Chain A
């Protein structure tokens, strides 16, 4: 049977009953966006905060996929049903992508659900595809859902920050910790992992992180009752990975006990709703700019005859109530 010809209602039912082809198909539709994707979102929205969501981020080559494979194997051994959304960049030139995360995850690919996601260039698309995909997986019975992203770019940081627990992976040397700081990842980290701890310089990296955490505490960021732990791992032989899993669980317990889990869920919901509103505004703006009157105003601005402030107000006279 070819699941591609089936209506989304039926795919959602089949997916909930464990049909992996249906789950895979739903993810494709959600990723593409449009009316069918919105329909799936309406059919699965009750699962928005149902599954635990763990974000894993860090520079390319830091060992995220290798670490994820180890974490997934541990979860499966504990009787859990995890899934992974592994995000990698699309080529800006051709729109194509080589998605290689499964290479590191081959040992768990038949016991967990792994989906490779290309960024496809447009930020708004990914910002909707990830929460939409997370819901599809939750509705299919998967929990937790692990999202692997390369932590560059605001949207990726936002997506990662929208997880219940965010794990930031750095490696010894190359100023990884400093880079993570610059990318804004330090503020969003709930758990730090210094991976490749078998390599020289791991302790220095740990100290760098401690120092930066110390500073952010002084400046009074985030939650005074929780301090992100720094874990050392070798994902090749698995040492330290059990402790990472324990740190993720401990962070979740902290969220539950402090009542902050609801805040995380709301943060995620706000991000998604805001992205949808933003997408509609973008279309409205493009439409407003496309008319003949707008074109001549824009030309007049370019020629120095009209001020851009005047043109903007004239093309789009709606303003927020001040």
Chain B
């Protein structure tokens, strides 16, 4: 159906104030025909859960540059489980290779590095939404 736009809730989780990367990702996803609900900086797991519920998100994209991903990633998944919300989470940003497996094992659907090209970002989001 032509009206089936993928709806992505996109947020920075945690305290760092770096939003260049996430804005680039927002445009990449929009240009691929997706509806990006942009939450911006300094979100909490609770505010992201509220947005994902209200917006009926197909996927949540988190940008992290504060090396907190190993705690914040699983905290996000726990908050979603608590809210009984079945939405895949993709993490983007600076995540060392060694941590990627741990995040995936904890239930994060995909991890995108800072240099991921546009088509990789788009295909990853599409794959994660379809595999839901």
Secondary structure at the A interface, as helix, strand, loop or mixed, is: mixed
For B2, the closest partner residue in chain A by CB is A95
Contact B46 A96 (CB under 8 A): no
Contact A97 B30 (CB under 8 A): yes
Contact B33 A116 (CB under 8 A): no
Whether B97 is near chain A, meaning CB under 8 Å from some CB there, is: no
| B-side contacts of A23, CB under 8 Å | 54
Minimum CB–CB distance from A106 to chain B (whole Å) comes to 6
Cβ contacts B41-68/A at 8 Å (1 or 0 each): 0010011001101111000000000000
**Per a CB cutoff under 8 Å, which of B27, B36, B38, B47 touches A110?**
B47
| B-side contacts of A74, CB under 8 Å | none
How many chain A residues have a CB neighbour from B under 8 Å?
34
With A1-B86, A96-B33: A120-B54 Cβ-Cβ less than 8 Å: no
Minimum CB–CB distance from B48 to chain A (whole Å) comes to 10
Contact A102 B37 (CB under 8 A): yes
Give chain B's interface residue range (CB within 8 Å of chain A): 20 to 34
Contact B27 A98 (CB under 8 A): yes
Whether A91 is near chain B, meaning CB under 8 Å from some CB there, is: yes
Cβ contacts A109-126/B at 8 Å (1 or 0 each): 110011110101000010
Contact A21 B53 (CB under 8 A): yes
11 further contact pairs, Cβ within 8 A, besides A34-B1, A96-B33, A102-B39: A24-B56, A96-B30, A96-B36, A97-B35, A97-B36, A98-B27, A99-B38, A100-B40, A102-B40, A106-B40, A109-B54
| Ranked 8 nearest A-B pairs via Cβ | A96-B30, A24-B56, A103-B40, A2-B86, A20-B53, A28-B56, A110-B50, A96-B33
Residues of B at under 8 Å CB distance from A? 1, 3-5, 7, 26-27, 29-40, 43, 46-47, 50-51, 53-56, 83-86
